[in-house]
Amino acid sequence: MGARLAVRDVSLQFGGVEVLEDVTFTVEAGQIFGLVGPNGAGKTSLFNCVSGHYRPSAGSITIDDDEVLGSPPATLARHGLARTFQHPALQLRETVLENVLLGAHSRLPGGAVEWSLRLPRTVRSEKALRREALDLLESHGLGWAAKTRADELSHGLHKGVELCRALLMKPRLLLLDEPAAGLPHSEVEQLIETVRRVRDDDITVVIVEHNMGLISALTDRVVVLDHGRKLMEGSAAEAQSDSRVIEAYLGKDAVDDAA
C-alpha cells in the first residue's frame, strides 16, 4: 500500500534567507499529488527537505505517522521513499543495467563483509535483483539498452533509466522532480501512462512539474507555492483558474486582463 506523507509548518533558511515558510499539506496514500509554482517558488527545496537532502529549520515531516524530519536518504529509503531528479544523476560510463541496479542498495541482505565474501545468500540476492532490474527495463521499453553505456542515450532515456532505478527500491512513496522537462510531446504522453501504472502498483506519487498539461492529466490534488509559501491547495483546474496563481505565474496585468 502507498505511504501517507504529511508536511507540517516546514520552514527552511539559507544564511538568513527564508526559502520555505510554514508549508503544510498532506498527501494521502495512493494519491498522485502535484507541487507547482513559478521558478524560485521553493518546489525543489521542499523536495530536498522531504528526501533528506536538506534539513528544515522548523516543522515536521512524517511518513505513515513516523517522524522523518532530518533523516538521511538511506533511512528514508527504509521508510519506502525514492526520488528522481530534474537532471538524472547517472553513472554515465556504466551500463544502463548497472545504473538501475544502484537502486537495489537498500534491499541487499547482510553487510559489506558478507558481500565481499560472496556468500551463497548474497549471490542469490544479486541474481534475483538483476532479473528484476531487467524486467523493469523491459516493462518501460528499455530492455534493448540494458548493456548500453548510459552516455550513449538521450536525455529522455536517462529519465526512464532513473525511474527504473527508483522503482527497483520498491518504494511506497515516489518523488518525481520535473519528469517531463526536456521531453517531446509524444514522450510526455508516454510518461503520463507510466505514472498512472506506478500509482496502480500502490505507490503514492508526488510530482514537481511545470508542464500543467501533465499536472492536469495526472494529479488528484496540487499545492501551489510562491516565494516559499503555500499559495493555495486544490485540484489542478482550481489552481489554473485561481487569480492568485495566475498573478504568481503571469503578473497582475494578466489577472486584470482576465477580469
Q: Are residues 178 and 68 in the same domain?
A: yes
Question: Bridge-partner residues for 151, per DSSP?
Answer: none
Q: Are residues 105 and 47 in the same domain?
A: no
Q: Are residues 46 and 152 in the same domain?
A: no
Q: Identify which has the larger pLDDT, 152 or 16.
A: 152
Task: Specify the pLDDT at position 247.
Answer: 87
Q: Are residues 125 and 179 in the same domain?
A: no
Q: Are residues 103 and 157 in the same domain?
A: yes
The mean per-residue pLDDT over the stretch 63-88 comes to 92
- pLDDT, tens only, 130-173: 999 999 999 999 999 999 999 999 988 999 999 999 999 999 99
Assess whether pLDDT exceeds 70 at residue 257: no
In this structure, what CATH number is given to the domain that contains residue 259? 3.40.50.300
Question: What span, in angstroms and rounded, lies between the C-alpha atoms of 122 and 130?
Answer: 12
Q: Are residues 14 and 51 in the same domain?
A: yes
Domain encompassing residue 106? 92-169
Q: Is residue 1 a part of any domain in this protein? A: yes
Q: Are residues 190 and 158 in the same domain?
A: no
Q: Are residues 185 and 195 in the same domain?
A: yes
Assess whether pLDDT exceeds 80 at residue 258: no
Assess whether pLDDT exceeds 50 at residue 259: no
- Dihedral (CA of 132, 133, 139, 144) sign: negative
- pLDDT, tens only, 88-118: 889 999 999 999 998 887 776 665 556 566 6
Q: Is residue 85 a part of any domain in this protein? A: no
Q: Is residue 212 a part of any domain in this protein? A: yes
Instruction: With beta carbons less than 8 A apart as the criterion, state whether 140 and 157 touch.
Output: no
CA Rg value for the chain: 19
Total domains in the chain come to 2
Give this prediction's pTM: 0.89
Task: Specify the pLDDT at position 160.
Answer: 92
Q: Are residues 71 and 186 in the same domain?
A: yes
Q: Are residues 9 and 136 in the same domain?
A: no
* Grid cell at residue 247: 498573478
Give the model's confidence band at 254: pLDDT under 50 very low, under 70 low, under 90 confident, else very high. Answer: very low
Angstrom distances, CA of residue 28 to CA of 32, 64, 72, 173? 9, 9, 23, 10
Q: Is residue 87 a part of any domain in this protein? A: no
Give the model's confidence band at 250: pLDDT under 50 very low, under 70 low, under 90 confident, else very high. Answer: low
Task: Specify the pLDDT at position 253.
Answer: 46
Choosing from 119, 149, 169, the residue where a domain stops is 169
Q: Is residue 29 a part of any domain in this protein? A: yes
